[in-house]
Amino acid sequence: MRILLTLLVKEFKQIFRNKVMIPIIFVVPVVQMILLTYAASLEMKGIKMVVVDQDLSQASRLLVSGFSASPFFEIVHSTTSYPEAESRLTGDRADVILHIEHQFEKRLYAEQETDLQLVVNAINTTEAGLINAYCTQIVGEFNTQIRSEWFSLDASLRMSSLDLKPSFWYNPLLDYKIYMFSGILVILVTLIGMLLTALNLVREKEMGTTEQINVTPIRKYQFIMAKLIPFWVIALFELAFGLLVGRLLYDLPMVGSLGLLFLFACVYIVVVLGIGLFLSTISNTQQQLMFVAFFFMITFILMSGVFTPTDSMPQWAQKINLLNPAAYFMRVIRMILLKGSEFRDISREFFSLLVYAVLILILAVTNYRKTT
Amino acid sequence: MSRFFGFVKKEFQHIFRDVRTLVILFGLPIVMIILFGYVVTTEIRDVEVGIWDRSMDQASIQATQKIFSSGYFVPAGYLDREEQIGELFRSGRAKVVVVFETDFEKNLKRENRASIRLITDASDANSAQLAQNYLQGVLMNYFQSLNPDINAPWSVQVKSRMFYNEELKGVYMFVPGLMALILMLISALMTSVTITREKEFGTMELLLASPLKPREIILGKVTPYVFLSFVNALTIILLGFLVFKVPVVGSLWLLMLECMLYITLALSLGVLISTSAKTQQVAMFMSMLGLMLPTILLSGFIFPIDNMPLILQWFSSIMPARWFIVIVKNIMLKGTGFVYIWKETLILLGMTLFFILAAVKRFNVRLK
Amino acid sequence: MTGTLEHIIEVRDMVKKFGSFVANDRLTFHVEKGEIFGFLGANGAGKTTAMRILCGLSYPSSGEIMVAGHNVYHEREKIKRKIGYMSQKFSLYDDLTVSENIRLYAGIYGLGRKEINTREAQLLERLGLTHIKNRLIREIPLGWKQKLAFSVAIFHKPAIVFLDEPTGGVDPITRRQFWEMIHDATLEGITVFVTTHYMDEAEYCDRVSIMVEGRIEALDTPAGLKQSYESRNMNEVFLKLART
């Protein structure tokens, strides 16, 4: 125990003596959390629309006014030349073209049906899907309007209606920021914890100071624990710090128990740092380690469900996610903070990570070589 | 000159000796493109839906069947109490709960009006909204199929054309973003770290004392990564084409040239970072923490820039990735020529020059 | 005392291979308790490899090796409690102070707080470093660092201390002082196993072995070696051996 304590004193002194790393550990993440949270929204407003109205009739004007009244669309240009509109689409100065051809109104009267062209920039499929949906909705409203006002279709013919009452729990204003914030916080804690721990050990290897440690009677587990504990404390502190920032700046909801969250975080961080230590036992230089860590980290993060829901991932990806600690924490932090989930709701995740923690620590300790 | 090539050769050997590093360098783009092609999609699929059917009549049962046969939703269980909704959400077993009112079918037939509550766990606002939209669409379709005879006259039909991506493949958007991300990270990270490494171990002094000129040293360190990054760019384009049928509509040569420009930019950024970092750790954290998230989030890679607050839009315009993504999208997907991207190209060029000049200046300061 | 007990290191047919490269080729020698044993050889002769095996940092390929009465195959952790080691790469922590380094290693060997306090004070006094005990290691001159590293390596009073080229890059005066410290250590009953390629330093050793390409070519007292190779000094001995 005293040996472990001696080692811990050493590690803490070294960490806090490093004047460059402290700001990197604390300032950079906070700035990122504050800024980037705002970036991550798929919400659509101000879709840039170019109107090509070649009919210039009463009907076409009414239709266009439906679009200009919508909060989703911003009519950036009106023209009668389709090629001109298309060049705007190509030049990224428009997201969608509303093309109303000649005889739009005439056909509406004569054939009782007419059509209009919608040209969507579909490189971003989610955006394209939404644009399409909004347009269809506005045109639908237009249809209802002309039926009743122009053609005074009598009420009996009107469709019976299905009343869909949507409600959004936990986040009625559909504020995406709080969701994103917790996600970015998890990424930063993971990234910093894993990298710091792993780099620290490899750096000692590279510098040759581990040689000196390896000829002493220190036990492997003592050495590994001494490398783990300081960064475990730092990562927990970072999490607390991040939550505080979120609370103050974004009114981050904390519906569930913070105690439960930290209990879970304690185990999670052991897993993350354990992986870092394991990676450092199989690397000889910081460069090597960085490659491996970078690879794992970016895969972990992208698969964790930070930007996109894990439930929609294919089965094989969800299987891989069983080994992805970030996926567990990403899910649980949001469950606890936003929905107030309790221990029984997250017990499966908790015990899975507990087993993970034990296994990865055993792996890191046994894989650390005092003798080569 | 031969001295310089000798040095470059040494650097190449240094990289190629470490098999693990190589596997990751070349494996990374492959894994990433598979991840983005199949795993990281903003589309929704298999959303768990709980059903609370308070009338259990033919209409409600049919509607339920329609929901689950749509392909987007999977059943998460049937409820019979209000409290169960919260329980389902808190345990994460369902994202949406659909509640049919009592006497659903009766109301529909007698009063022409029936209601369905769609309760969504909106902690994830984006997918909650998507799920809501899809669900409403499915239910409306079903409802309209109940009244096929009322196909109203006087209607405008919307004919949509999906430009540049007729089949609406999500991977179209990710290929350019992925190139921007991987090239930036690999190039900047690698160069900053290898150069800082020489500094940290004192071998930089040795090199500087050699007859190699400082710029030859830097060039020599950077050259292998130009090559590696370029191979990576090609891998992504090739994989996108072979696996996901993402075309290169425009000129491949122009695309290659722009890639080279972007790689040069990323490498000079790496050199700049290395001039201000004393240890590899600092260089790593600067390039990883400082570049990874901003490149993902502020470049328009996943999230549209137009929706960001102004200050972030401003930040995003100093992200080189943002401009590169526009360029790649234009050449690869839209097939436009240089006319449409000269502005972006100039911006990248300017940034590159700035990084190089700043790096040279800092480097000289350090030498004195 | 029996003969084996006096041999604090006993090596028979030690072989270390890296792939097909034989770094140590059937080394057989012993080190007597309390002596200064010099392990000489050109760069790449296999000195460090052999020393790392004796310290338990590296596995031998074959051979029988006993250090401080323990087998290097099975009892490395017991050996580690009885030895000190000063590696070729500089091994104190750059970002810790003089005092912190001393206390770290003392703590690792399980010394009590009181004992550490008094012995640290004594050590700093003896080295004349008391006034800079709160300076970071990276800020003090190399000569002081080396002396300190040696003192730290024997702080826990090991039976044997292994020194891997301890005087590399150090000025002649400091080297002389360093060897005085080594000598003092033997007076406290510590056996010293030292590698070096300074031939003048070999003169300070009780016995010297000279390694050439993984084999021990000669092993005797410095006087004995000079006599059998008809040389005036160790340098000549070495050159004669290396040329053959």
B33 and B59 together in one domain:
no
Strand partners, A97: A50, A119
At A43 the pLDDT is 65
Residues A105 and A207 in one domain: no
**Residue B16 sits at the chain A interface (C-beta within 8 Å):** no
> The domain spanning residue B131 has which CATH number?
3.40.1710.10
- A contact test, residue of C16, C55, C57, C102 with most A CBs within 10 A: C57
pLDDT for residue B158 is more than 70: yes
Give the one of A135, A170, A287 whose C-beta lies nearest to B121's C-beta: A170
Provide the H-helix boundaries in chain B.
Answer: 2-17, 19-34, 58-69, 83-90, 104-111, 125-146, 171-200, 203-209, 214-244, 252-276, 280-298, 310-316, 320-328, 342-367
**Would B158 be classed as within a structural domain?**
no
**Can you give the pLDDT at residue B115?**
87
Residues of chain A in Cβ contact (below 8 Å) with chain C:
2-3, 5-7, 9-10, 13-14, 17-18, 207-209, 211-218, 370-372
Confidence class for position C244, pLDDT limits 50, 70, 90:
low
Exposure letters B27-54 (e unless 16+ CB within 10 A, then b): ebbeebbebbbbbbbbbbebbbbbbbbe
- Name the residue ranges covered by the structural domains of chain C: 3-91+158-243
Separation CA A369–CA B9 (nearest Å): 33
The DSSP line for A241-266 is: HHHHHHHHHH-----S-HHHHHHHHH
B112: left (phi over 0), alpha (psi -120 to 50) or beta: left
Name every chain A residue with its beta carbon within 8 A of the beta carbon of C138. Answer: none
pLDDT tens-digit map of B12-52: 887 777 787 788 888 888 888 888 778 877 677 788 999 99
By percentage, how much of chain B surpasses pLDDT 70? 96
Residue A240 pLDDT exceeds 90: yes
DSSP symbols for B64-109: HHHHHHSSSEEEEEE--STHHHHHHHHTTS-SEEEEEPTTHHHHHH
Model confidence over A199-223: pLDDT tens digits? 889 988 888 888 888 888 888 899 9
Residue B153 confidence (pLDDT): 62
On whether both A254 and A187 belong to a single domain, the answer is yes
The residue ranking higher by pLDDT, A35 or A332, is A332
| Judgement on whether residues B19 and B69 belong to the same structural domain of the protein | no
In a domain, A162, yes or no: no
A181 and A147 share a domain?
no
Residue type, B297: L
Closest Cα to residue B280, out of A199, C75, A138, C76?
A199
Statement: residue A360 has pLDDT above 90: yes
Contact of chains B and C by CB distance (3 or more pairs under 8 angstroms): no
Cβ of A217 within 8 Å of Cβ of C87? The answer is no
b (16+ CB within 10 A) / e for B314-335: ebbeebbbbbbbbbbbbbbbbe
| A67 and A14 in a common domain | no
Query: Do B127 and B189 reside in the same domain of the chain?
Result: no
In a domain, A59, yes or no: yes
Say whether both B190 and B293 belong to one domain.
Answer: yes
Q: Note whether residue B4 is domain-resident.
A: no
Cβ separation A2–C107 shorter than 8 A: yes
Q: How far is B24 from chain A (nearest CA, A)?
A: 7
**Lowest-pLDDT range, A188-192, B213-217, B257-261, C123-127?**
B213-217
CATH number for C3-91+158-243: choose from 3.90.1170.40, 3.40.50.720, 3.30.70.260, 3.40.50.300. Answer: 3.40.50.300
Q: Do A211 and C58 touch (CB under 8 A)?
A: no
Each residue's pLDDT tens digit, C9-50: 999 999 999 888 888 889 999 999 989 999 988 877 888 889
Q: Which residues does chain B have within 8 Å of residue A176's beta carbon, measured at their own beta carbons?
A: 125-126
pTM: predicted TM-score of the whole model, two decimal places: 0.83
A61 and A13 share one domain: no
Q: Would you say B224 and B12 are in contact if contact means Cβ atoms under 8 Å apart?
A: yes
Chain B residues lying within 8 Å of A187, measured CB to CB: 293
| A41, pLDDT greater than 70 | no
Predicted local confidence at residue A159, as pLDDT: 52
Same domain? For A71 and A137 the reply is yes
- The residue among C99, C108, C120, C135 with the most chain A CBs within 10 A of its CB, best to mutate, is C108
pLDDT digits (tens, 9 = 90+) for B256-298: 999 999 999 999 999 999 888 888 888 888 887 788 878 888 8
Q: Pick from B46, B117, B288: which is nearest to A165 by CB?
A: B117
Q: Please give the pLDDT value at position B224.
A: 87
Name the residue range of residue B69's domain.
47-146
Burial A294-310 (b: 16+ CB within 10 A, else e): bbbbbbbbbbbbbbbbb
Is residue B154 pLDDT above 80, yes or no?
Answer: no
pLDDT over threshold 70, residue A255: yes
**pLDDT tops 80 at residue B139:** yes
Structural contact between residues B303 and A42, judged by C-beta atoms closer than 8 angstroms: yes
Between chain A and chain B, the number of residue pairs with CB atoms below 8 A apart is 344
**Residue A321: alpha-carbon gap to chain centroid:** 15
Residues B139 and B146: beta-carbon distance below 8 Å: no
Residue C96 burial by Cβ neighbours in a 10 Å radius (0-12, 13-18, 19+): buried
DSSP C231: -
Nearest to C11 by CA among C61, C67, C55: C67
pLDDT bracket for residue A176 (50, 70, 90): confident
Mean pLDDT computed over every residue of chain B: 84
> How far C82 CA sits from the closest chain A CA (Å)?
9
Alpha-carbon span A306 to B126, nearest angstrom: 12
Burial class (CB in 10 A: 0-12, 13-18, 19+), C3: exposed
Put residue B210 in one of left, alpha, beta given phi > 0 → left and psi -120 to 50 → alpha: beta
Of A5, A7, A212, the CB nearest to C91: A212
Question: Which residue type, as a one-letter code, is found at position A47?
Answer: I
Number of domains in chain B: 2
- Which domain covers residue A146, as residue numbers? 47-157
Measured between CA atoms, the residue of chain A closest to residue B294 is A36
Q: What is the mean pLDDT of residues C160-165?
A: 91
Nearest to B293 among A36, A175, A195 (CB): A36
**Together in a domain, A76 and A110:** yes
Asked if residue A270 and residue A132 are part of one domain, the reply reads: no
Residues A117, B161: C-beta atoms closer than 8 Å: yes
The answer to whether residue A157 scores a pLDDT higher than 50 is no
Asked if C80 lies within 8 A of A372 by C-beta distance, the reply is no
Does residue B184 form part of some domain? yes
Whole-number average pLDDT of chain A: 86
Q: How far is residue A135's CA from residue A142's CA, in Å, rounded to a whole number?
A: 10
Q: Which of A48, A98, A50 is nearest to B306 (CA)?
A: A48
Instruction: Tell me which of B157, B160, B184, B190 to substitute to probe the interface with A (most A C-beta atoms closer than 10 Å).
Output: B160
Closest CB from A9, A209, A215 relative to C55: A215
CB neighbour class for B243 (10 Å; exposed up to 12, middle 13-18, buried from 19): middle
Cβ separation A169–B139 shorter than 8 A: no
Best-predicted range by mean pLDDT among A350-364, C187-201, C229-243?
A: A350-364
Query: Which of B189, B359, B82 minimizes the C-alpha distance to A294?
Result: B189
Encoded amino acid at A128, one letter: A
Average pLDDT over residues A330-356: 92
Closest chain B CA to residue A179: B124
Say how far residue A33 (Cα) sits from the centre of its chain: 12
Is A357 found in the same domain as A249? yes
